[in-house]
Structure 1
Amino acid sequence: MDIDNLEDLAKELKNDENAHVIALFEEYAKTHNITEEKLEQTLSKEHDCFKCESCHKFYCYDEYSFFDEKCIYCCDTDDEDGEEF
């Protein structure tokens, strides 16, 4: 798989069919001599690609909670697990 630029990387990371997004992310950072933190910031600011700190998948703005730094799917799961009556 050829990833030529950050836009291509963001598309691949958000692709639900791609099971190796973390390896792809780490390899891109290593190959382009950029820290993972800086790469994550650039992807979020310029390419609508946000990393969930819980499931370690990547999502677009509409599927991400900045407050929790998680995707909405992990937030929903956490809410369901924490509910006690």
Structure 2
Amino acid sequence: MDIENLEELAKELKNDENSTVIALFEEYAKTHNIKEEELEQILSKKHDCFKCESCHKFYCYDEYSFFDEKCIYCCDVDSEDEEEF
């Protein structure tokens, strides 16, 4: 798949049907000579695309917790795990 710009990349990363988002993200960073951390910052600030540090998928603002740096789905699972003890 040819991704020509960051807007296309963000759209593809947030696509639930795409199972290779990390590979796509890493390839884009490598191809465009951008550090992965820098690419994450650009995607989050300009394209509403945030990487979950837990499941390594990408989500929009409404599905992401800045405090935990995780998606709301991983935060919910963590909360359920804590309640079991």
TM-score range, shorter chain: over 0.9
Q: Does 1:76 align with 2:76?
A: yes
TM-score, normalising length: structure 2: 0.98
Which amino acid is the alignment partner of residue 22 of structure 1?
I
Which amino acid is the alignment partner of residue 12 of structure 2?
E
Which consecutive aligned stretches of 4+ in structure 1 deviate over 2 angstroms post-superposition?
none
Aligned residues: 85
Consecutive unaligned residues of structure 1, counting only runs of 5 or more, are none
CA deviation vs aligned residue, 1:24-80 (integer Å, no higher than 9, x gap): 000000000000000000000000000000000000000000000000000000000
Consecutive unaligned residues of structure 2, counting only runs of 5 or more, are none
Which amino acid is the alignment partner of residue 34 of structure 2?
I
Deviation at 1:84, TM superposition (A): 4.0
The residue number in structure 1 matching 2:25 is 25
C-alpha RMSD of the superposition:
0.8
- Aligned identity (percent) is 87
The residue number in structure 1 matching 2:55 is 55
Which amino acid is the alignment partner of residue 7 of structure 2?
E
TM-score, normalising length: structure 1: 0.98
